[in-house]
Amino acid sequence: MQIGNKNFNFNSGKSVVMGILNVTPDSFSDGGKFFNIDDMLRQAEQMAKDGVDIFDVGGESTRPGGAPVSGEEERERVLPAISELKKRFDIPISVDTYRAKTAEQALARGADLINDVWGLNHPDDKNHEMARIISKERCPIIIMHNRISIIPDELIEKKAEKGALSKYPSAYIEKIIDEQKFSIDIAKEAGVEDDKIIIDPGIGFAKSLDGNIHAMNNAEHFTSLGYPVLLGISRKSIIGKSLALSIDEREEATIALNIIGRMKGHHIFRVHDVKANRRALDMCDVILNDER
């Protein structure tokens, strides 16, 4: 897959590390630390030294209970960040947004990839403008699972009652995958090509703690759709709630979950601490790529 000026072969056995750059005052893990452009650039410089493959710039916190910002404010945060990153680094830039206008302007500034946490299906985007922009600009899109279910629970129950055959281990996993197919259909109907699509099962979004654990335990099934899979697990509440750890104590568990994801066939890992996760994933790659 071509992302910016880099070609990523997701079948090469090499993990791809995406570094989180939040230009927000209130993100759950590093809110405020890189709100200033100079601070953000210093963090980007460190990530580049540590082996980051893609920057992911976000201008609105998506943490549970986070205060929403206007599209104008989001753009005031991310657009200058994109411009400065493009001047200094030869590293592809992803923009974490669900707003079509932000995506359009970000791509015009030089962004290479859009990371849509609403999977092209935000309630305010009833005409699927985001999908149309992605198609028009022919840029890659990360489609994340996140919404109130569009598949009624009654339908799942009927499937179970009828003993419908499924290649998935549970109705819950099948439901997530069916909903991802719905978002992929939105993309394809707008003209987005298959080789521009990355999926994200959305750990931490629209799922209970038990649901997140079940999704991670069955993470290999998300590869069945045939697209590269991104895992965005870094420091999330699945760790905090499972182990009673504060946000700044979750790095070792983040690494453990990313290794599980890698061993279950995921390709891209969105992280705060690039160095630690890069080293762990590189070691995992060495073992998994052994063909002796």
Name the packing angle between helices 100-109 and 129-137 (round to 10°).
20
Catalytic-residue membership of 162: no
DSSP structural state of residue 229: B
Catalytic-residue membership of 236: yes
> Choosing from 109, 236, 250, 278, which is the catalytic residue?
236
d(CA 147, CA 183): 11
Question: Which residues lie below 8 Å from residue 19, measured CB to CB, with a gap of 6+?
Answer: 44, 47, 52, 54, 55, 56, 271, 272, 274
Burial readout 219-252 (b: 16 or more C-beta within 10 A, e: otherwise): bebbeeeebbbbbbbbbbbbbbeeeeeebeebbe
> Choosing from 175, 262, 270, 278, which is the catalytic residue?
270
CA dihedral 166, 170, 175, 178 (to 10 degrees): -30
**Catalytic sites, residue numbers:** 236, 270
